[in-house]
Amino acid sequence: MKNESKIRVAFIGSGKVATELALIFRFHGIEVTGISSRNHSSGKVLAARLDCQFIEDPNDLKADLIIIATNDTSVRELNTSLRKDSFVAYTAGAVNLADFPNENWGVFYPLQTFTENRHLTVDEVPILLESNSKELQNKMESLCKTIGLRFDYCTSEDRQKYHLAAVYVNNFVNHLFHKAQAQLQQNNLDWNMLKPLIEETVAKLDDLSAFDAQTGPARRNDHATILTHQTLLAEEDQNMYNLLTNSIQKTYNP
């Protein structure tokens, strides 16, 4: 049996997900044998950082496991073009594995957001696994154990639900942060004043459900405060404020 620490991995893609995963793998002793990417410029840069080859044709990658870290459309295209004998796992959150009957295909989905020049520890990157074969499942599990990544098995249906929940807590919340920053900037106010509030909002979820932690004018039906806020907003932002306010009110006063 091959030593787990000697597993060889290659990546298709050179964006934020591929970069962060590849750097984590390399740091923990996993050999990254090659990078293939449509973006030759970023692909060659990543290959140089990892001291491995840039391979133009993904079918020329040589590894025990090839990880596709690209968008959903590219995953589907690669399924029709990659060699059938390659063990392949993709990182896309919303792509159903049942669409790919090849027994050598699986999912290696990091439930995390990645940002250029911000590096995460293994404790911060939970992995959801799914596989069409026991052999591939063993490879991915061994890879996680070797690195120390927390992992769980998850069907495509449940992974898509995790992905939806992640959009709520990451993408939507981040957009609200942007709206708050813009509103404060327009009024020459200090964004840093809100940072302790943001940290406490997240921290108290260790002790309370989000349902129980909810506060604010919508939660207590403070119509006077809601009206004051509405007068401060342009029409587009007022519509979003009203939508969220109505959702909170319906949650607590169905």
| In this structure, CATH architecture of domain 4-154 | 3-Layer(aba) Sandwich (3.40)
Domain residue ranges of the chain, discontinuous segments joined by +: 4-154, 160-252
Residue 212 CB-density burial (10 A; 0-12 exposed, 13-18 middle, 19+ buried): exposed
Is residue 2's pLDDT more than 50? Answer: no
Segment 204-234, tens digit of pLDDT: 999 999 999 999 999 999 999 999 999 999 9
Segment 160-212, tens digit of pLDDT: 999 999 999 999 999 999 999 999 999 999 999 999 999 999 999 999 999 99
Phi, psi of 151 (to 5 degrees): -140, 160
| Cβ–Cβ under 8 Å, residues 191 and 185 | yes
Q: What pLDDT is recorded for position 254?
A: 79
Give the CA radius of gyration of the chain.
22
Segment 36-91, tens digit of pLDDT: 999 999 999 999 999 999 999 999 999 999 999 999 899 999 999 999 999 999 99
Is residue 1's pLDDT more than 90? Answer: no
Q: What pLDDT is recorded for position 102?
A: 87
Higher pLDDT, 51 or 253: 51
| CATH code of the region 160-252 | 1.10.1040.20
Is residue 5's pLDDT more than 90? Answer: no
Beta strands at 127-131 and 105-110: parallel, antiparallel or unpaired: antiparallel
Is residue 112's pLDDT more than 60? Answer: yes
Percentage of the chain beyond pLDDT 90 is: 91
Q: What pLDDT is recorded for position 207?
A: 98
Is residue 130's pLDDT more than 60? Answer: yes
Segment 133-165, tens digit of pLDDT: 999 999 999 999 999 999 999 999 999 999 999
